[in-house]
Structure 1
Amino acid sequence: MGQGLVPYLCCPDAASAIDFYVSVFGAVEVQRWTADDGRIGHAELSLAGETLFLADEHPEIGVRGPRAYGGTPVALVLSVPDADLTVAAAVKAGATVERPVVAQDDGSRAGWIFDPFGHRWNLHTPGDTATVEQVQDRVGDKYTITE
C-alpha cells in the first residue's frame, strides 16, 4: 500500500462488492481476510492504479454501510475509458443511475451511479484539454473558476 489517501468502504456483502468492482470497474483483488463467520474483515483492491479497502458490515463494532445511515454524502470519482459503457455495465450488474452520462462543461463525459452496496460513484471520461479560461466561458456566470 502506498502513502496516500485510501478509501475504506463498508459493504453489506463485501464478497459481492469485490465481484462487482472487479467485473465492472476492472479492479484487481490484492488480498482478502475472511473471518470464521464468513464475513470479510478486510480486503484490498487495486483500482485504476490506486488502493481501495473494503469490508463487510460489522455492526457490533459500529462498522455499517451507507444504507444503514440512509445514504452517503460521499462520492468516489473514477476515471474510465468510456463512461457510457461503464455506467451501462454497472446498471446491468445492479447499480442504479443517479445522474445519466452527459457532456460536462470541462469537456469530459460523466454520470453518477449508486452501486448495489449504496456507494455513490462519479464515472467520468476525460475530454478535451480546455484551458481554465475556455471552461470559464462554457460555464458562464454559474461558477467562478480559480486556480
Structure 2
Amino acid sequence: MARKAKGRSSKKKAAAGAAARKKTAAAVMVEPIPKGMHTVTPHIVVRNAANAIEFYKQAFGAKELHRMYMPDGKTIMHAAIRIGDSVIMMADEFPDMGTRSPQAIGGTPVSFYIYVRDVDRFFDRAVKAGATVRMPVMDAFWGDRNGVLEDPYGHSWSIATRKKNLSPKQMKQAQEEWLATASMASKKAAEAAPPAAAAAAAAPEPQA
C-alpha cells in the first residue's frame, strides 16, 4: 500500500513539474509577429515628430503607444501611434543618416489609404485640425467614397468609406465610363479655351 501511495505521489510530482516547465516555456516564448501588429507597418519621417503626433491625435484620433528620445531630450528617434487597428511608426529627421521628411525632399511619392466608417465626418475633422484638402470627398468609380488630404508635415492621406462592392467586371466597366467622362470633360475644356494666339491678340496694346 505504501509503495502504491509513493508511486502516485511521484507521478503527481512529475506531472506538476511538467506543467510548471510548460508554463515557464509559454511565459518566455516570443511571438514572431508581436500582438497587435500587421505584416506591413509603415515607418514615416517627419519634421518635428512631437508636434506631428499631437496633430495625428486631433486629426485622425490616433493613440500614442510610445516614444523614445535622443540624448538631447527633444529629438524623437522612434515613436509609434495607432490609428484604428493599425500601427504607424515615426521618427524625426536625421539628414546625416539619410532620413529626410517630405518637406526636405519636396514632396512624397507615398500615400496612406485609411478606411473609416464615416469619411465625411473624419475628413472634416482632419481639415479642422490643419490638414490641407488635395481632393474633396466624392464618390469614386471603384465603390469608395473618398477624399485626399495632406498633413502639415507633407504626408498624403486618402480617407475612404466603402459604399459599393463591385465585381472585377463591374469595376472595369465603371473605370471605362469614368475615363470616357473625364476625357470628354478635358476635350470640352480645351475647346472652350481660346487659342494662345487669339488670347495674345486680344491683349491690350502697350502704350508708349
Q: TM-score range by the shorter chain?
A: 0.7 to 0.9
Give ranges in structure 2 of 5+ residues lacking alignment. Answer: 1-33, 181-208
With CA pairs under 8 Å and 6+ residues apart, which has the higher RCO, 1 or 2?
Answer: 1
Equivalent residue, structure 1, for 2:83: 47
Q: Which moved more, 1:96-105 or 1:44-53?
A: 44-53
Would you tell me which structure has more helix in proportion to its own residues?
2
The runs of at least 4 consecutive aligned structure 1 residues that moved more than 3 Å come to none
Listed one character per residue, the Cα deviations across residues 78-118 of structure 1 (whole Å, up to 9, x for unaligned) are 11122222222111111111111110112211111110110
DSSP-derived class of the 1:116 partner: coil
The 2-side partners of 1:134 and 1:61 are apart by 47
Letter in 1 for 2:98: G
Question: What is the one-letter code of the residue matched to 2:61?
Answer: G
CA contact (8 A) 1:106 1:127 kept: no
Equivalent residue letter for 2:105: Y
Tell me the matched-pair count.
Answer: 143
Q: Distance in 2 between matches of 1:17 and 1:52?
A: 12
Give the fraction of aligned pairs with identical amino acids, expressed as a percent: 36
TM-score normalized by structure 1?
Answer: 0.88
The higher radius of gyration belongs to 2
Match of 1:117 in 2: 153
Shift of the alpha carbon at 1:41?
Answer: 0.6
Q: Which residue pairs with 2:66 in the alignment?
A: 31
- 1:16, CA displacement in angstroms? 1.4
Stretches of structure 1 that go unaligned for 5 or more consecutive residues are: none
Deviations 1:115-134 (A, max 9, x none): 01100111111112222222
Cα distance in 2 for partners of 1:85, 1:13 equals 27
Map Cα deviations across residues 5-32 of structure 1 (whole Å, 9 max, x no partner): 1111111111111112222212211111
Structure 1 residue 3: Cα displacement: 5.6
Q: Which moved more, 1:18-27 or 1:8-17?
A: 18-27
1:19-53, Cα deviation, whole Å (9 max, x unpaired): 12222212211111022321111001122212210
